[in-house]
Each structure stands twice: as structure tokens, then as C-alpha cells.
Amino acid sequence: MNGIAVHGTTLEFYYKEIEGRKKYWRKFGDTSLFTADYENLFDAPVKRATYNVIIIQDTLHHLEPLQEALRIFHQTLTPNGRLVVVEENGNNIIQNLKLYKQRGNKRIIEIYDERLRKNILIGNENIRSLSTWKKELTKAGFNVPQDSVQYVRLYLPFSFKNGNTEKLLAKEQQLWRKNSFLRENFFFGLNYNATKV
């Protein structure tokens, strides 16, 4: 709607709702530059040097085999293109305990996709720490600039009330920079850019 062509790809259940959402947003502007496909990343033809930015929101930990996914992203990006990554912090103690209770050590599984009618390998909430992501991304030809890293979501939702949102968000941003123990073990979210080199 800002004049930038955007294409999305997903295997999520909400794909069927996209047309309805586009219809709603047409009231506010032109949605014709947005397209989406229901597809497995590994089956789609690689469109070399096509995109300047790839946004990967709460998805990177689901892509398996990971290095193959990163290779596809690297080939698809233009020179100096970047990944914008929104992920869970794989060091978060509470999240790790919750996920272990849910899935045990089964971090990679195979599922059957009804729509595609095939088995797909998927990361089973296979979250990782920033240092692990950096190692994987470096192997794939990416660099994660330290100034692009941001940890988010320390305070639980019930903490946000009575107009204190801006104050708590500002405090979170101070805390993760100053307190490595809190940053590594208790911040839930991790955002960063990875630049193609």
C-alpha cells in the first residue's frame, strides 16, 4: 500500500483468509502489489536476485533443512539484500521448559500437508540463541550486524496497564543492553537483520 511490491509465502492455516483481509484493506488503499502463495519453500523455483528484503516472522525456527532454506534466501536476495528476522529467544529459560514439555527432544519432525498432499520436514519449535543463529547464518553467507539486534518482551502482558506501555518498553530496551543475564535468559523475543555478503 506504500507502493512496494510484496509477495508472501506460507504453509499456515490462515492462507484461506488472505483474500478477505485484502478486501478489507482495499478500503484504505491499493492492495494490488501484495500477492501470496501457499507453497513449500523447498518446492518453489528459486527467483535469483529478485528481492531486496525478506521478512521472516516467527518462521525461521520452522524451516528444515535450515541450511538449504538459508541458501534459497541467499540466492533470492539482491546484492546486499537482507533478512529481517523476528524470532523467539532460544535461550529463554521459561520458553525452553515449556517447549521441552510439549515436544521433548523432537526438534525436527515430518508432517503431512493436506493441501499439498505430501510430507514436509519442519522445525518443531526449534528455537535457537542469537549466537547459534549467527553461526548458521555465517555459514550461509550472511552477516548479522550487532547494531541490528534487539531483544524484546521481558514483561508479561498483565504488566501493561494504565498507560504505562511506553515506559515499560523503554525500560526493556535499557535492560537488555545492560543486563546480559536478563537478556539471555528471560527476554522472550529476538529481532535482527542478516545482510547478504
Amino acid at 94: I
Cα gap 81→46, rounded to integer Å: 15
Asked whether the beta carbons of 178 and 154 are under 8 A apart, the reply is no
Identify the burial level of 176 via C-beta atoms within 10 angstroms of its C-beta, where 0-12 means exposed, 13-18 middle and 19 or more buried. Answer: buried
Show me where the domains of the chain are located.
39-196
Q: Which CATH number fits domain 39-196: 3.30.750.24, 3.40.1410.10, 3.40.50.2300, 3.40.50.150?
A: 3.40.50.150
CA distance 180 to 93: 14
Return the H-helix or E-strand segment holding 70.
helix 66-76
Q: What is the pLDDT along the chain (197 residues), one digit of tens a residue?
A: 888 999 999 998 889 999 999 999 999 999 999 999 999 999 999 999 999 999 999 999 999 999 999 999 999 999 999 999 999 999 999 999 999 999 999 999 999 999 999 999 999 999 999 999 999 999 999 999 999 999 999 999 999 998 999 999 999 999 999 999 999 999 999 999 999 99
